[in-house]
Amino acid sequence: MSAEAIVEARGVGKSYDGGVEALKDVSLALPRGKLSTLLGPSGCGKTTLLKIIAGLIPPSRGEVWVKGMKVEGPGPERAFVFQDFALLPWANVLRNVAFGLELRGTPKEQRDEIARRQIAEVGLSSFESSYPHQLSGGMRQRVGLARALAVDADIILMDEPFSSVDEQTRRKFQEELLDLLRHKEKTVIFVTHSIEEAAYLSDQIVLLSPRPGAVSRIIHPNIERSGRNPDEIRRDKNYLDAVDEIWQILKQYVA
């Protein structure tokens, strides 16, 4: 691997009360500035692994290192985008996007200015004073993404962010995400159960096997994305090979 690892998992395991083993001996290195996907069937512990990296769940065994520091809890260098959006229903878009900064005690004027800029980046400028329930699923997730971008973390952790939106929105969102990240020095760790989504977005795909979750294979799709439109990428030989390779592995797990 050429790029330096920004996140490292060393022998991470997680067991829940009652003896259910969700993760077993997961060791990983996720490169700086790249988009890595954790992919696997439901029950493979991919969300658990992401939350352990986020510091939201403590691992039962092993440890996670982020930027050379052992993870003991959430930290400002990591921001999370939630599957169910997790927007405050009583706060408008502006306040939701600024919420991470509000928790850090950033003065209101300053955090609103940063939030406005991020809202514009995700294309929601005219919705600053709307409330979450007035927005579509896709728009809500843009708010979730803008909130993660607003705290200016190096690492963005995304937990199946597009699973609750329809297919058109999902594709459009994927393209925009790539576009947005191309200009930023962000490391993205992305959880999904969609093979196409993983192959389309990722520089590196970590395939997890189910029950208990363990690293099954690591794939580098190596797709040339710059200057090409989405349809070209989806016809790229490397893209199609990656999709096929993933499917060959995953289908053993389908009962």
Q: Can you tell me which residue has the tokens 């096929």? A: 244
| 99 makes contact with another protein (CB under 8 A) | yes
Q: Which stretch binds another protein (CB under 8 A): 23-31, 77-85, 181-189, 230-238?
A: 77-85
CB of 177 to another protein, least distance (A): 19
CA distance 175 to 201: 8
Round to whole Å and give the CA distance between 62 and 131: 41
Using CB under 8 A, which residues numbered 101 to 130 contact another protein?
102-104
> Is position 88 an interface residue for another protein (rule: CB under 8 A)?
yes
Half-sphere exposure of 101 (CA within 13 A, CB side): 24
Measured between alpha carbons, how far is residue 74 from residues 55, 79, 174 in Å? 5, 9, 26
Task: Output the smallest distance, CB 55 to another protein, in A.
Answer: 8
Minimum CB–partner distance for residue 98 and another protein (Å)? 11
Kindly tell me the burial class for residue 229, based on how many C-beta atoms sit within 10 Å of its own C-beta (0-12, 13-18, 19 or more).
exposed
Tell me: does residue 75 bind another protein (CB under 8 A): yes
Q: Rule CB under 8 A: say whether 89 interacts with another protein.
A: yes
Site string for another protein, 149-188 (x = CB under 8 A): --x-------------------------------------
Question: In sequence order, what DSSP letters do the residues of 119-170 get, joined into one string?
Answer: HHHTT-GGGTT--GGGS-HHHHHHHHHHHHHHTT-SEEEEESTTTTS-HHHH
**Closest CB to another protein among 65 and 131?**
131
Q: Tell me the window of 7-15, 25-33, 94-102, 186-194 that interacts with another protein (CB under 8 A).
A: 94-102
Between the CA of residue 202 and those of 21, 33, 34, 151, 192, what are the distances in Å?
A: 28, 12, 8, 23, 11
Stretch that binds another protein, among 9-17, 78-86, 175-183, 226-234 (CB under 8 A): 78-86
Q: What is the sign, positive or negative, of the torsion defined by CA atoms of 229, 37, 160, 127?
A: negative
Residue 86 binds another protein (CB under 8 A): yes
Among 15, 62, 65, 131, binds another protein (CB under 8 A): 131
The C-alpha atoms of residue 50 and residue 34 are separated, in whole angstroms, by: 16
Tell me how far, at minimum, the Cβ of 234 lies from another protein, in Å.
32
Region binding another protein by CB under 8 A among candidate stretches 12-20, 96-104, 180-188, 196-204: 96-104
Alpha-carbon gap, residue 209 to 29, rounded angstroms: 17
**Position among 6, 28, 44, 54 found at the interface with another protein (CB under 8 A):** 54
Which residues of the shown chain bind another protein in the complex (CB under 8 A)? 54-56, 74-76, 78-80, 82, 84, 86, 88-90, 99-100, 102-104, 131-133, 147, 151
